[in-house]
A and B are shown apart, each in its own frame.
Chain A
Amino acid sequence: MMIDLTELLATAPFSLYKHEKSALLTAGLTDLTRHHYESCEPYRNILNAIAFDVQRVSSYDEIPFLPVRLFKELDLLSVPRSEVVKTMTSSGTTGQAVSKIYLDRETSAIQMKVLTKIVSSFIGGQRLPMLILDAPSVLKDRAMFSARGAGILGFSLFASDKAFAFDDNMGLDSTVIDRFLEKHKGKNILLFGFTFMIWQHFYKELLKLGTYYDLSRGILIHGGGWKKLTSEAISSADFRKRLHEVCGITRIHDYYGMVEQTGSIYMECQQGHLHASIFSDVVIRRPLDFTPAHFGERGIVEVVSLLPRSYPGHALLTEDEGVVLGEDDCPCGRLGKYFRILGRLKNAEVRGCSDAYAARFF
């Protein structure tokens, strides 16, 4: 059964109970599996190789998941190339392979609509003045453009006005910030940036300069992962507390998302829990046999999403570790699974005499 996403957009994003959502996802993801099987030859080859029978799917967690790394190494698309309107790439330092995600008009549009739907449920339906905690060059410099640039562009949907808080050397641009705060005095403002950049170039700078900006009416959305911060032993709770100390901000939402599944992001509630909306879900997999883990059990994060139609990215095995904390019973009131990301899966250390592996993959 094909799911009418337009109809789903009329539903509140965290309003379906487990049994309703499960039926919806199973129907929608099975349909996507069939669609990609028919339209994407490499995907079809994979499903044939594992003798997968889509007729026998009884639950969406039985659908094969592709490791995200495959998108770095293969061109995977389920529409004719002529219909590709946008190719998204993941972040990656120079020389590293990047994911290539092919979007047609339909998938690209639905991604934006779903992103709007999810984010609005946290910040309200009004556009807000947006202070970007990053440098303007991030959008100009092709080498830097990618996940960071795409994130900023994506969240710019919610901006009535925009300013970059950093100069191109990642220093605080106090002139811009002062002017921006003066102009939007008394209004709610949206702040957006990448977790590590905010910590390094915003929090630490404010601390050093001893400057206090009143951002008590601010809503901060940040993402990009905690990898660089875990080395400094900063937890999500520390992050909120310390930021509050330097600028009075209280509404802080981390988000979890990836370029391979743009749109259906996971936002953090005031409890510090990431939430799956009705458009997507997480399944934690046991590394030893990839069976679904129990709630509370650590494993590899699989993400499923109803959005990817132009490329076979509806069920993906990430390289993150996480844990589902519960479902339908977060004190914040949102329905659906809520979870925590525990960090990147450690690369397997391989002994032996060949360097071919390292050269190929890392």
Chain B
Amino acid sequence: MLTPQDFSKIECRVPLHPDFDRIFAARAFAPFCDEVMAFLQDLSAWLLQDTVARNFPDVVSFAFWCRKGALRAMKERYSGQQLRLGRGVVFHIAPSNVPVNFAYSLAAGLLAGNANIVRIPSRDYPQVEIICSALRELLEQGKFRHLNKYVILVRYEKDDTITDFFSAHCDVRVIWGGDRTIADIRRSPLPSRSFDLTFADRYSLCVINADVYPGDIDPARLAMDFYNDTYLFDQNACTAPHLVVWLGETTNVAMAQEIFWSNLHLVVAEKYVFQPGSAVNKLTDAYRFAASSGGCHVRTMADNLIVRIQLDQLRQGLEDVRSTCGYFYEYEAKILDDIVPLINRKFQTLSYYGIDSVAMRRFIEENRPSGIDRIVPIGRTLDFSLVWDGYDLIGTLSRTVILTP
């Protein structure tokens, strides 16, 4: 149990005065139940109308993600004959440095039918405040008041006692964060039937088929898409590629690289807020890598906005030598299968251009790599989906009731 003194360390954002005993006793809903669907679509509408929220593309993306039509499409994909209910209480530990991630985690927990206690980032992001106040306002409304024991957002500084408390009362604990955060949180025991769903640090890469580039796509458009995948979050989102693999004829690759990087440079020069410190970081990372390995070439660029390192050979462990803010390794592969030895469990998103889905399916089926959970076109890496890191979130956060007639 928590002492009143422990409670005073919890800053309750939604609702302001939660009754934890009622929350722990809340009965789960079926996945995609009408109440939750109505609540999330009203949240979406609220955020899309909010003039402040409109200034934050990540808040707008979230609002789009849970608008009425999108929710309905998600529901359709899941509808089956099975009798399912949420698991009960889900305790989410959101990452501290991606402002809106907590909202997706909460939405997944709600859609699966659960009561949710979400530890939101301790940093003061305006995005977090916007979403919290929207949630508070909606839960005040008569039609949603009964949901207020399903949506609890708290903030507290690292504190084992508090984490112990929520952990002891949850059915699933969802941990987003680096390896260290996960190890820290795991020190708090869970009830014997409960389990952790962990979203650890991952590594992502991109493949471009130079033989069909630019083909019928506008290179400026693809550059913009790639920019959103990478620079938008300083190339520090798990989904952001750090390695660009080129396929195709050598002459095509040379030409494609020229077009691709010069188009990207135009976008970065126009949109990216360059931080002087990042130039020193990237130089340090490039030189550190070069110092310990032959067979790499730091490509000369007009400035420090894009750093490219060409690899003569692929080597394992590239995920440990990545950087941020526009730092890319490049490799010319003969065929996509050349990258297989590189792939390990850390690999998450493979984004692509110029390869059809039949070839991608064959790539996975034949090579059976131990990593890669998502294969998406360039520009779509940040799209959140209810299947994440290989987990079906609705399936995992709910339980099946077997009914034998």
A interface, CB within 8 angstroms of B:
42-43, 45-46, 48-51, 66-67, 69-70, 73-74, 76, 287-290, 300, 317, 319, 321, 345-357, 359, 361
Contact = CB atoms under 8 A, between A and B. Distances in A.
Given A42-B291, A46-B290, A354-B236, A348 B281 contact: yes
Contacts of B180: 355, 359
6 closest A-B pairs by beta carbon, nearest first, are: A352-B236, A287-B276, A355-B178, A42-B291, A49-B290, A348-B277
B287 interface: yes
A347 B284 CA distance: 13
Contact of A69 (B98, B274, B284, B309): B284
B236 A46 contact: no
B293 interface: yes
A51 B290 CA distance: 11
A321 B279 CA distance: 13
Nearest to A318: B280
Q: Which of B101, B201, B290 has the most C-beta atoms of chain A within 10 angstroms of its own C-beta?
A: B290
B97 A351 contact: yes
Contacts of A350: 97, 234, 236, 278, 324-325
B279 A351 contact: no
B304 A346 contact: no
B370 interface: no
Contacts, number: 137
Given A49-B296, A352-B324, A354-B178, A288 B304 contact: yes
Contacts of A349: 275
A361 B277 CA distance: 13
B345 interface: no
A353 B281 contact: no
Contacts of B302: 289
B379 interface: no
A350 to B, nearest CB: 5
Given A42-B292, A70-B284, A289-B304, A345 B237 contact: no
B183 to A, nearest CB: 12
A334 B281 CA distance: 35
B237 A51 contact: no
A351 B226 CA distance: 17
Interface string B129-151: 00000000000000000000000
A351 B234 contact: yes
A70 B287 contact: yes
B304 A45 contact: no
A355 B277 contact: no
B294 interface: yes
A319 B280 CA distance: 8
Contacts of B305: 288
